[in-house]
Amino acid sequence: MLRQGRAAGKIRARPTVGRSVNYFGARELDVVVIGAGQAGLSAAYHLRRTGAEPERDFVVLDHAPRPGGAWQFRWPSLTYGKVHGMHSLPGMKLTGADDSRPSSEVIGAYFAAYERRFGLRVRRPVEVSAVREGEGGRLLVETSEGAYAPRALINATGTWDRPFWPRYPGQETFRGRQLHTADYAGPEEFTGRRVVVVGGGASGTQHLMEIADVAAATYWVTRRTPVFREGPFDQERGRAAVAMVEDRVRRGLPPQSVVSVTGLPLNDAVRRAREQGVLDRLPMFERITESGVMWEDGRTVEADVILWATGFRPAVGHLAPLSLREPGGGIRVEDTRAVRDARVHLVGYGPSASTIGANRAGRAAVRSIRRLLDRVPA
């Protein structure tokens, strides 16, 4: 990876990536982008437009094996036609996709073509384990292929790598199977089973509508009463939803899930499922038993499977050494910039955790970083 050369009496590596290698062996460049999902690719595209060269001025690192961001891991029955609203990446439209094909394939192929078209040279699989303070005002990004020393960071690591499993008493005694949306591979494995689905978001309702056709019984359990949204999700509603999440992030609170502010879309399939009783919701149970779940009043349901459709949290553990977290548990972000460290930008985080939000955040982060780098020469 690194070619050796002699400089200032020390053996220094001359990098094939970055402009130079510092005393500690870290490759120096302007920007590291972590994550090649919608948010990271949008940022990389806008970096390219400012004239930045991949591998010399910036790198995009991703630990997944293939292009597609988190989409590559979504279950095959989540066809492109079932996806709520995928916005194309900037500069290249996704057109003519077959609605019946899995979204993982459609979007994986689209992202691969996008990376090729704009020469983004995503480096994968590369795991980023930690980002910490480096030398001379630079950050130090520690990865499975060595260290980088950028002047700024765009963190675009999404949420898929951090499924959220709530804890309930008795959970460890359950003799059936427990799995999370992140493990869901389609309805077939639930044939003839009694399944409790926990979670009032879009994933929970989609799992139920698929599983109900083959399962012996399904039960839907949610903490709050689900709100079904009539009519299209217009721009005004979109703006209002984003503003609510934005407000939390500004106050340093952990971002909410988007569905908690947008509600569940009431389409024909959902209407049918409601008529058939598939989406009759039960309140949250109090504990888990060996053979099912139990409510406060002593009622029980026998189950073979508990499917936790309880969402995801931002995958930002590698940023911990920078101490960006507020006492409220979240990272305070203004536009895309971390309030505690102006070199760090979070895209696809909180209010920008949607395909359209990620597009915009990528552009905003690059603009802001450009201004920062112009102000503070290397």
Ligand X SMILES: Cc1cc2nc3c(=O)[nH]c(=O)nc-3n(C[C@H](O)[C@H](O)[C@H](O)COP(=O)(O)OP(=O)(O)OC[C@H]3O[C@@H](n4cnc5c(N)ncnc54)[C@H](O)[C@@H]3O)c2cc1C
Q: Which residues bind ligand X (CB under 6 A)?
A: 34-40, 61-64, 69-70, 74, 83-86, 127-128, 156-158, 160-161, 203, 315, 318, 348, 353-355, 358
Identity of the residue, 218 or 336, whose beta carbon is nearer to ligand X in the bound complex: 336
Cβ of residue 351: shortest distance to ligand X, in angstroms?
Answer: 12
Residues 348 and 37 sit within 8 Å (Cβ to Cβ): yes
Q: Determine contact, residues 114/92, Cβ cutoff 8 Å.
A: yes
Could you tell me the smallest distance in angstroms from the CB atom of residue 83 to ligand X? 4
Backbone angles phi, psi at 176, to 5 degrees: -85, -160
Q: Which two tokens stand for residue 231?
A: 């009519």
Q: Which is nearer to ligand X, 194 or 257 (CB)?
A: 257
CB of 246 to ligand X, least distance (A): 16
Among residues 333, 358, 332, 335, which one has the least CA distance to residue 347? 358
Give 82 or 287: the residue with its C-beta nearer to ligand X.
Answer: 82
The residue type of 44 is A
Residue 68 CB, shortest distance to ligand X, in Å, is 7
- Nearest alpha carbon to residue 168 among 159, 178, 155: 178
φ/ψ of residue 356, rounded to 5: -75, -40
- The tokens for 234 are 């217009």
Dist CA 75 CA 186 (whole Å): 6
Of the pair 156, 338, the CB lying nearest ligand X is at: 156
Give the span between the Cα atoms of 212 and 264, in whole angstroms. 18
Amino acid occupying residue 190? F
The answer to whether residues 58 and 119 touch, using CB atoms and an 8 Å cutoff, is: no
CB of 276 to ligand X, least distance (A): 23
Nearest CB to ligand X, comparing residues 18 and 255: 255
AA identity, residue 14:
R
Residue closer to ligand X (CB basis): 39 or 338: 39
Shortest Cβ 170–ligand X spacing (Å): 28
- Least Å distance between CB 62 and ligand X? 5
Give DSSP secondary structure letters for 172-222. Answer: GG--SEEEEGGG---SGGGTT-EEEEE--SHHHHHHHHHHTTTSSEEEEE-
Q: Which residues pair with 293 in a beta bridge?
A: 288, 301
309: helix, strand or coil: coil
Residue with Cβ nearer ligand X (56 or 87): 87
Q: To the nearest whole angstrom, how small is the minimum distance from the Cβ of residue 352 to ligand X?
A: 8
Closest CB to ligand X among 91 and 137? Answer: 91
